[in-house]
Amino acid sequence: MNSMNYNIANTRPYGRGGQRLLTAAIVSLCLSACGGKVLDARNAEVVNGKLYQRGENVPFTGAVTNVPNGVVFSADPGLEQASNAVGKALLYAEPNGSNNDSAMVNLQQYMMAIGLHPMATDPERARVLCDVQVRDGLLDGAVKCKKARTDDVVLETTTSAGRIDGKLTAYRFSNGTQHPALIAKFKNGQLDGKQEVYSSRNDKLIHRIAWSNGIADGTEEAFDENTGHRVMQVTNIAGKNDGEYVEYAPDGERVIHRLKLEKGVPVGVEETFDPLTGKLTGHAEYANGRLQGTVKRWNPSGKLIYEREYQDGEMLRPDDAVTECINDRVITYERATGQHEDPAQRDEWDASCREQRRLVSSSAAQGAKQ
């Protein structure tokens, strides 16, 4: 998901509209002089996967302009994978987390702006229109896509026999200047090689993943968009996380999350740590991908705020003593405040009551020994 950074020239002696007409005229003259054909997408049709000039019986060969991006990339499943990876990387980089409506709205707008989603097929409604080269009705050659009614190039790649083949680059624009958004390598329509995603706020690399024939295979990493340090690392084998999954604080040094996976399935111990102090904030254990035993969470000061027991992935009900303790606290709280407790408060009471029960049991055991 790398991308080169070019500036659009600010000097427009003919004005934006005039320059676009002049450019189109020059391209048309050049192609005509070279014996090539130029066809506007409005005069084209796709039949059985091949492009024809409307009314003709022989598949078209030449240049086609103003093709909606949804028509150009409809046969490339790899582009959807690349688009999903961009979304995943951008949400991961969100400073306030990805589970909020504003983050999703911003992501949708960004994906539209760089030509990756949604893929429209109607020329009148498409936000991104592409100029392509076609041979015998199939995409074959350079593809350059622009925001509709502008000269802003947001995506470019090469194709062969109807599929993306080679480097694909997507760009974002800020104050009229082109910035990198994504670079990916394709082979016969499938992601193959390194893919890099760049921050939507600056030009820093935020995600890198390796692909082999459309399957994630190799190292996957995420990077902090401000410090540039690595904040996540995992290995993919045959499309699944395999080995240790590690997340780091923005300094790239302090581990904040560690988990082991086998073929995408969590096994053994999972732990989380406070990014500032390094104190343990979470502990869980897995057997064959299912939670097993005690799950605990602590706040940054070390107070236990969550505790549950699991067996084969199923949460066990607390015993009668813990249940009675929780109910007493709920009643006391409601009488004092006139309100119902929130889930976080109930979790904290649950953990406290379990800890209290352990202390009582420990005292009783000590007394029995004496």
Residue type, 252: G
Residue 223 lies in a domain: no
Question: Structure pTM?
Answer: 0.82
Please give the residue range of the domain that contains residue 346.
Answer: 317-370
Q: Based on the structure, what is the number of domains in the chain?
A: 3
Burial status of residue 268 (CB atoms within 10 A of its CB: 0-12, 13-18, 19 or more) = middle
Residues 5 and 135 placed together within one structural domain of the fold: yes
19-49 pLDDT, tens per residue? Answer: 333 334 334 434 443 447 999 999 999 999 9
Residue 230 lies in a domain: no
Phi-psi region of 243 (alpha: psi -120 to 50; beta: other; left: phi over 0): left
Residues 162 and 289 placed together within one structural domain of the fold: no
Burial status of residue 346 (CB atoms within 10 A of its CB: 0-12, 13-18, 19 or more) = middle
Residues 177 and 292 placed together within one structural domain of the fold: no
Residues 311 and 322 placed together within one structural domain of the fold: no
Instruction: Output 166 or 121, whichever has higher pLDDT.
Output: 166
- Cα–Cα distance between 114 and 110 in angstroms, integer? 6
Secondary structure of 221-285 in HEC code, one letter for each residue: EEECCCCCCEEEEEEEECCEECEEEEEECCCCCCEEEEEEEECCEEEEEEEEECCCCCCEEEEEE
Is residue 245 within 8 Å of residue 234, measured between CB atoms? yes
Is residue 170 within 8 Å of residue 155, measured between CB atoms? yes
**Predicted local distance difference test score (pLDDT) of residue 95:** 73
Residues 255 and 138 placed together within one structural domain of the fold: no
Residues 324 and 262 placed together within one structural domain of the fold: no
Output the six-digit token pair for 96: 């306030």
Residue 35 lies in a domain: yes
Residues 123 and 168 placed together within one structural domain of the fold: yes
- 360-363's contacts with Cβ under 8 Å and 24+ in sequence apart are 360/321
Residue 79 lies in a domain: yes
Is residue 235 within 8 Å of residue 209, measured between CB atoms? no
Residues 158 and 121 placed together within one structural domain of the fold: yes
Alpha-carbon dihedral angle through residues 147, 151, 157, 160, given to the nearest 10 degrees: 100
Of 186, 209, 232, which residue constitutes the final position of a domain? 209
Of 209, 227, 256, which residue constitutes the final position of a domain? 209
pLDDT, average across residues 113-141: 91
Residues 264 and 191 placed together within one structural domain of the fold: no
247-286 pLDDT, tens per residue? Answer: 999 999 999 999 999 999 999 999 999 999 999 999 999 9
Residue 237 lies in a domain: no
- Cα–Cα distance between 225 and 95 in angstroms, integer? 10
Which helix or strand (DSSP H or E) is residue 309 part of?
Answer: strand 304-311
Residue 137 lies in a domain: yes
Residues 171 and 293 placed together within one structural domain of the fold: no
Of 178, 209, 240, which residue constitutes the final position of a domain? 209
Residues 183 and 259 placed together within one structural domain of the fold: no
Is residue 175 within 8 Å of residue 152, measured between CB atoms? no
For residue 43, the tally of other CB atoms under 10 A from its CB is 13
Q: Quick check: 59 pLDDT over 50?
A: yes
153-168 pLDDT, tens per residue? Answer: 999 999 999 999 999 9
Residue 190 lies in a domain: yes
CA distances to 99, 113, 175 from 7, rounded to whole Å, are 34, 17, 10
Percent of the chain with pLDDT over 70: 87
Residue 24 lies in a domain: yes
Question: What is the DSSP secondary-structure string of 178-202?
Answer: EEEEEEEEEETTEEEEEEEEE-SSS
Omega of the bond prior to 118 within 30 degrees of 0, cis?
Answer: yes
Q: Quick check: 367 pLDDT over 70?
A: no
Which helix or strand (DSSP H or E) is residue 119 part of?
Answer: none
Residues 136 and 204 placed together within one structural domain of the fold: yes
